[in-house]
Amino acid sequence: MEGAVVETLRAEACDSRFEAAIRARMTLRVLQVFDHAVNLEGGGWLWTVVARPGFAAPFTVCVAARGSLADSRIRPGSVARWQGEWLALSAGARIDFSSCRTVPTAGEEMAWDVAAARRGLAAFDEALAASGEARGCLLGYRRRWLGEACPLDAMSSFVWQRADDLMRVAFAGEGVEAAARRLVGAGQGLTPAGDDFIAGALCVLGGVDHPAARRVRQAVADGVGAPGVLDATTRVSRQMLACELAGQAASTHLRFQRALLRDACDAGPALSELLSVGHTSGADFAAGAADALRRLVLLTGVSGRRR
């Protein structure tokens, strides 16, 4: 429409994959539009534009936006068009990549310090109790590890039982593929609760430089990566799990990983940030990470010594 106002969204940061897509001027088509995010598709991958300051994730660019992206006349099915350093998402919104910086999304493997992990878990449990959080797999975590009599709704109970089964067999080293098939895709939404739980477990185990952590993580990875397993979930969730399997994660995930393993004083703020993601996605991720870490501490911890 002639004379229509065009909002220019300034790209603040993106990962190396999105940077490569920018350089290649990849053809991108709008898939989904939400208040604070737009999902695009192109080259066989999903790409996300998110209006969340300081956020980073694989295949993602963070932009500064004044209002809801859903109000910018961006329509699913439309093709985003490159105009120099700009990517026009619609006649009413375009992204300016001229000052976009590239940020890492790979996690780091840290030397195993069981005492630090115990401090991280204690700080997490304290923050969890203070938050009163009662959603998703965190309900199961509170029942199992904190001894609370939290009632589980039918869906949370269904997912938690399968999540508990996967962790049990992964640490035992047998029957992992069957358990993974039962958990992947369990739940609702773009990233079902079972997948978020798995992502949390993969992330925290991937941050530990210890043979036991690598063994358990590989068992989970083999189960999730077995033929046909990921077909049971959504396209968005398949890509999220593929990234976690490759050691790539969102900044909220990596911050929580580090809070549990090294920086216990950040456990509360990291949990608060994580819980702001999705309906139960952050809660389910936190439950997977903390559950896996508790089991690892029980497996390897001896009198608080490093091993």
pLDDT (tens digit, 9 = 90+) per residue, 190-228?
Answer: 999 999 999 999 999 999 999 999 999 999 999 999 999
* Model pTM score: 0.94
Domain ranges of the chain: 7-102, 110-300
Asked if pLDDT for residue 285 goes beyond 90, the answer is: yes
DSSP per residue, 169-224: HHHHTSSHHHHHHHHTT-SSSSS-HHHHHHHHHHHHHHTEESHHHHHHHHHHHHHH
Q: How far apart are the first and last CA of the chain?
A: 66
How far does Cα 238 stand from its chain's mean position? 12
Amino acid at 59: F
Place 302 in a pLDDT band, splitting at 50, 70 and 90: low
What is the per-residue pLDDT across 145-193, written as a single tens digit (0 to 9) for each?
999 988 888 999 999 999 999 999 999 999 999 999 999 999 998 999 9
Tokens 């737009």 belong to 38
**H-only helix segments in the chain:** 16-24, 114-131, 137-145, 154-172, 176-183, 193-206, 211-224, 235-245, 251-261, 267-275, 281-300
How far, in Å, are 150, 234, 246, 259, 265 from residue 231 at the CA level?
32, 8, 18, 32, 39
51 by Cβ neighbours in 10 Å (0-12 / 13-18 / 19+) ranks as buried
Q: CA nearest 93: which of 80, 107, 76?
A: 80
150 by Cβ neighbours in 10 Å (0-12 / 13-18 / 19+) ranks as middle
What is the per-residue pLDDT across 125-152, written as a single tens digit (0 to 9) for each?
999 999 988 889 999 999 999 999 888 8
Tokens 């300051």 belong to 53
